[in-house]
Amino acid sequence: MPLPKAELHLHIEGTLEPELAFALAARNSVLLPYRDTEELRRAYLFDDLRSFLDLYYALMAVLVTEDDFAELADAYLTRAAAQGVRHAEIFFDPQAHTERGVPIGTVIEGLARALDASEERHGISTRLIMCFLRDLSAESAMETLEAAKPHLHRITAVGLDSAEVGNPPSKFREVYAAAGALGLRKVAHAGEEGPASYVREALDILGVERIDHGLRCMEDGELVARLVRERVPLTLCPLSNLRLRVIATLEEHPLARMMDAGLLCTVNSDDPAYFGGYVGDTFHAVREALGLGEERLRELARNSFTASFLDDDEERRAKLIAEVDAYDFGVRRPE
């Protein structure tokens, strides 16, 4: 039995496996510029975030109908359940779909159909986080929030993703204030490729509760002290950092140093179809590369529930944390 855990940093479009991409392409008569799944997989060699994003957005062309989004999400939840995920907070990128003519309602209602069935079908509770693409304009983000209004009961939080450098959090001050006024919670990618100052901006200007990635906070001792003091969770994605060349080898990932510094770290998969593993695989990889002991792994699993938006179901949070505390590592592959 795998260690129970929550996944807090997962782009649903980043779970599109080549096999499903080709099946959806055939169903929707979309021509992909790859002969087969093997050729597509061979394209998964990235120099940086931008080179990944180009392929990630291009492949989304196969996602057209509500059924497609429901199928994508259900396929992820099936894989996640097998790796011990008991709670998942799932990002989606509405503008990547509306920009190519797919209505936001198709995206949200399709995903929601799979998420609504998730607890019963997979034992995974879920939340949905709507991300704004930071390389598009602030006006486009505001229009997206407006368009999502009929579906807000489906959405727990807003997030900020896509190409970071040159697109600081401050660009999205107004839309985050508007989202907060609507009762949405707030997270943002910051300090992935961008500087530590973007992490500060996300906290001070956007008022986020969690930082996605946040790796580069380690360049700023005062910021680290603040993140520790305020118990701001960081949703780290070590395999993503490796594949996007934020780090050269997994052995040099700062996760263990960050935990030693007292930061509230979680381990997540980001875009598992592209980066070589789902969240259980990621636990396994960091365990091997960083030599994390059982208590460190247990701490990471506990943190994932502590940092989750389960505030409206404290009973479930307590139950899942108790499962982590009682977990018996006396098995060979606990991830």
Residue 14 interface partner, choices Zn ion, ligand ADE, none, CB cut-off 5-8 Å depending on type:
ligand ADE
Instruction: Give the integer Cα–Cα distance in Å for 312 and 19.
Output: 37
Q: Does 270 bind Zn ion (CB under 5 A)?
A: yes
Q: Does 89 bind ligand ADE (CB under 6 A)?
A: no
Q: Which of 192, 193, 299, 335 is catalytic?
A: 192
Alpha helices in the chain (DSSP H): 18-27, 37-42, 49-59, 66-82, 94-98, 104-116, 118-122, 138-148, 173-181, 196-204, 221-229, 238-243, 255-260, 272-275, 279-290, 294-306, 314-325
The C-alpha torsion from 105 through 106 and 110 to 112, rounded to 10°, is -10
Q: Does 7 bind Zn ion (CB under 5 A)?
A: no
Residues 138-177 that bind ligand ADE (CB under 6 A): 161-162
Is 219 considered catalytic here? no
Q: Does 271 bind ligand ADE (CB under 6 A)?
A: yes
Residues 30-69 that bind ligand ADE (CB under 6 A): 49, 56
Residue closer to Zn ion (CB basis): 270 or 335 = 270
Residue 176 interface partner, choices ligand ADE, Zn ion, none, CB cut-off 5-8 Å depending on type:
none
Tally helices (H) and strands (E) across the chain.
17, 8
Residue closer to ligand ADE (CB basis): 245 or 298 = 245
Q: Is 162 helix (H, G, I), strand (E, B) or coil?
A: coil
Q: How far is the CB of 272 from ligand ADE (least distance, A)?
A: 11
5: which 2 tokens?
A: 């855990």
With tokens 């929601």, the residue in question is: 112
Q: How far is the CB of 46 from Zn ion (least distance, A)?
A: 14
Judged by CB under 6 A, which of 2, 10, 12, 14 binds ligand ADE?
A: 14
Residue closer to Zn ion (CB basis): 210 or 302 = 210
Alpha helices in 133-220 (DSSP H): 138-148, 173-181, 196-204
Instruction: Give the integer Cα–Cα distance in Å for 304 and 329.
Output: 18
287, 285, 325, 334: which is closest to 305 by C-alpha? Answer: 325
Judged by CB under 6 A, which of 74, 89, 201, 270 binds ligand ADE?
A: 270
Q: Which stretch binds Zn ion (CB under 5 A): 124-132, 241-249, 259-267, 270-278?
A: 270-278
Q: Does 282 bind ligand ADE (CB under 6 A)?
A: no
Interface residues with Zn ion (CB under 5 A) are 270
Residues serving a catalytic function are 192
